[in-house]
Amino acid sequence: MTLSILSIPDELSRKRRTWLVTGCAGFIGSHLLETLLANGQTVKGIDNFDTGRRENLDAVRARVGDKAFENFTFVEGDVADPALSQFMSDVEIILHQAARGSVQRSIDDPLGTNHANVTGFLNVIKCACDTKLKALVYASSSSVYGDNPDLPKQETNIGVQLSPYAASKRADEIYAAAFSKLFAINVIGFRYFNVFGPRQNPNGPYAAVIPTWLNDLKNGVPCTVFGDGTTSRDFCHVSNVVQANLRAAFYLERASGECHVLNVGGGRATSLNRLYEIICAAAGPFLTQKPGPVRYAPFRPGDISHSLADITKASELIGYEPQVTTEEGLTSLTQEWLSSS
């Protein structure tokens, strides 16, 4: 089955649904929450603030307004808690984003990563089956491709996972396939490729490269590159990820016993050296002095050298097409970040 969605707002306006967004105070989760509330949907959310932030929920409220925000019910809690099922009684669609998303943090604390990413996911999908819910969309990761050197990355060809984080996401995919076959739940998992955008946390030792660099530039601190800068990534603006999640949800509403894993990226690789050039060009008007050269540091264990998504399957199955390019997203984000107080 294929599905063509002409307009996400039109599809949302066609039917008011009740959604559960796990990790709703996180980077991606808060953007999903904002889009759903802005389009008249009823949303339940859960977050334990391990990586999510209360200010993200405040930002959503400010953007959608108090009236729309009244359609949001929030619970502070852990998705691994079996009591989650009590919160899901009237939920129709789950967008499961709750996770520990850092390779390095998973190396430092593999048990914590397993609890959040594997036990948490297992509980979510079990509760979904227990409540006879039909549609579950969840976050996997491009780190699943591990040591497979092939480019672009295709869903059917993975390697050996190189970190506990990657292994945890691969475990989620295996559980999803098993539960779908056993209980006929419709499931789509997304292998995200280096998502970036507003509300991404720049602080702490596990922060992603783009918000880290933007914070460094704002504070006049030299930016650090791990490796020689030729390492490349498929950077994907968060608005593209929101689009993919909603298209997947609409697809699964019409499906029967389907389980898929899809790449979600921008479909284009950018080296870290080139990334720095784009950010510096956009940052120029907002800085009192020209950014200096980056500092190079040793390549980190668990990281991969190159990553590029083949998004053909997502395009064909759910109609996913990136709407914001890496350059457009970086330019907009950089200017917003550096112009803010």
Instruction: Tally the C-alpha atoms within 13 A of residue 301's C-alpha that lie toward its C-beta.
Output: 6
- Distance, CA of 27 to CA of 168 (rounded, Å): 20
* Of 189, 268, 191, 182, residue with least CA distance to 233: 268
Q: Is 145 a catalytic residue?
A: no
Q: Determine the distance from the C-alpha atom of residue 54 to the mean position of all C-alpha atoms in its chain, rounded to a whole number.
A: 18
Write phi, then psi, for 133 (nearest 5 degrees).
-75, 140
Q: Kindly list the distances between the CA atom of residue 54 and the CA atoms of 39, 69, 118, 269, in Å, as whole numbers in the listed order.
A: 22, 14, 24, 33
- The helix/strand count (H/E) of the chain reads as 13, 13
Q: Kindly list the distances between the CA atom of residue 30 and the CA atoms of 87, 116, 133, 239, 250, in Å, as whole numbers in the listed order.
A: 19, 18, 22, 11, 19
Catalytic residue selected from 165, 175, 276, 320: 165
Which residues are marked as active site? Answer: 165
